Amino acid sequence: MTGWKYSFERLSKHKYIACIIHPKKVVCICGKTIKLNRKWKEDYLNHHVQHSGYKANKGQRTIYNRFQPVEQKEHYRKEEYNKEIKYDSDSVEISKYIKRTTAQFGGCHRIEIVARELFSHLFAQKFSRKKLNFKQKRQLNCALFAESVWQIDRSKKSWIILADKALKDAFNDAPIFTGLCEVMSDAIEQKMKNKSNKNLKYSEEFTNFLVILGGISSRALDIFRQNLEGRSIQSIRMLRRNNNKYLTNPELCYENVAKFKRLLDTINYNGPIAAMTDNTKLKLGLRYSSNLGSEDRIAKSVRAYLLQVPLPAFPPIVIALILNNGSDTADSILQLHKQLIIEIVPLLGLHILSLESNGAITKFQAQQSISKIQTNEKLIVKEPDLNINFSCSIFDNIGPQLFSSI
C-alpha cells in the first residue's frame, strides 16, 4: 500500500519554497507567507507563483534567493505533529467537549487508509463511501472503532439520564412516549422468558397513536413495529370492529343513530341537534369485502350523514357512509331526510332543529321538499315592517325544522 503522496520531503524540493513553517504554512522565495489548503500540498503556492503580479524572478531578490534555510530535523517534525496527547480525565474543558461532540471514537488511521486495506479492489484511486454497501460500511466502522485510541461510552449514561427524568415526572405530558416505554419493557421481559408478545397491554393513548399511524400508511406502521413495538394492522382492525362506536352498517339505520343517543345520555344532554349531509369524493384505491353486491359499479363518492350537538369543541358524529357514483338526486337525499326525521328520530326522542347542506342544487331541492311536508302544526313569524315572513314545519316529538346552506 502506498503512503500519502504529499510529504515534507516532496514539498521541500519545490522550486519556490524558501522555508516550511509547518505542514500548512510555507514561505515563498518572494518573502510572502502562504497558507496551504492541505498538509504538505503545494496547490496554493502554485496559484501564488502563477499570478500575473508575481516578480520573484525579476528585479531585486529576497534574502531567501541567496541563503538556503536550515533544514528541520525529521524527528522534531514528528514530535511536533504526531505526539500523543494525554488529558486529565477530570478536566472541565474535556468534559464539556465530550458532551458537545457527536463523535463516538477517534485517534485511528485515516478512513481512506483503513478502507483501502479492507477493500483494495474498490479504491484503487479515490475513496468514496458511496461505493460501499450497508454491510461494507458497517465493517469499515467496526475496523475504525477497533483501531481507535479513545472511545466515548454514552450507552449507559443516556439510560441513567432518561430514568432520572422519568422519576422527576418529565414525561407526564407525553403519554404516547410513556406507553411506548411500558410496551418495550414488557416485550423485553417476555423475550427473556421465551414467551411471545401476543398478550402485551397497550395504553389508550399509544393505541390511538398506532391507529392514526396505520391510517396514514400501513407500511409506516410496519416499519415502526419492526424497530420498536406496536399493534399490527390486523389487531387494529379487530379493535375497530369490536368498538361500539364503529359503524358495522354504513347505511342510515336505527342502530347507528341509537349509538349517538347513548353518547348524549352519558353527558346528560337533551337539547337541540343539527343534522348535515355532504357528498365527498373517494380516494382512489381498491378494497375487497365479502359483503359486496353484484351491481357491477365502482363507487366514486360517499355520502356522509352527520349529527352534531351545537356546543363548543363537540365534534360531528358520522351516522352513515353511503357509497354512490357521484350522481345523487334530490329525491334520494329527500328519502334519507325522511328516514331520519320521520322513522328513526321520534323513536329515540332526539330533537333535530336544523338540516344543513353546502348549497348544492340537489340538496336545496331536498330541503324544500321537506319543508312542504304537511304537519299538524307550523311555526310562523311575520313582521311586515321588517319584511319578515318566515314559516317552518313542526314535526311530532321532534320540533320545528330549520334549513340552512353553508
Domain ranges of the chain: 8-82, 92-151, 172-242, 254-283+298-405
Give me the residue label for grid cell 525579476.
58
Interval 229-252: pLDDT, tens: 888 888 888 877 776 666 667 788
Retrieve residue 266's grid coordinates: 352519558
Q: Report pLDDT for 79.
A: 41
Distance of CA 303 to the CA centre of its chain: 31
Averaged pLDDT for residues 5-18: 83
Distance, in Å, from the CA atom of 221 to the CA atom of 177, rounded to the nearest integer, reads: 16
Retrieve residue 381's grid coordinates: 313569524
| pLDDT at position 87 over 80 | no
Give me the residue label for grid cell 390486523.
234
Please classify residue 179 by burial: count the beta carbons closer than 10 Å to its beta carbon, then call 0-12 exposed, 13-18 middle and 19+ buried: buried
Whole-number percent of the chain with pLDDT over 70: 68
Mean pLDDT over the full length of the chain: 75
Please classify residue 178 by burial: count the beta carbons closer than 10 Å to its beta carbon, then call 0-12 exposed, 13-18 middle and 19+ buried: middle
Q: Write the CB contacts of 200 (distance below 8 Å, at least 6 apart in sequence).
A: 183, 186, 187, 190, 229
At residue 1 the predicted structure's pLDDT band, cuts being 50, 70 and 90, is very low
Retrieve residue 292's grid coordinates: 359486496
Cα separations in angstroms, 314 against 54, 209, 219, 256, 333: 81, 21, 32, 18, 25
Please classify residue 386 by burial: count the beta carbons closer than 10 Å to its beta carbon, then call 0-12 exposed, 13-18 middle and 19+ buried: exposed
Mean pLDDT is highest, among 152-161, 201-210, 282-291, 302-311, for 201-210
Considering the entire predicted model, what is its pTM?
A: 0.42
Distance, in Å, from the CA atom of 104 to the CA atom of 157, rounded to the nearest integer, reads: 14
| pLDDT at position 104 over 60 | no
3-state secondary structure of 25: strand
Interval 61-74: pLDDT, tens: 555 555 555 544 44
Q: Report pLDDT for 98.
A: 57
* CB-CB contact of 137 with 122 (8 Å): no
Decide the pairing of beta strands 351-357 and 272-281.
parallel
Of 2-11, 150-159, 191-200, the least confident? 150-159
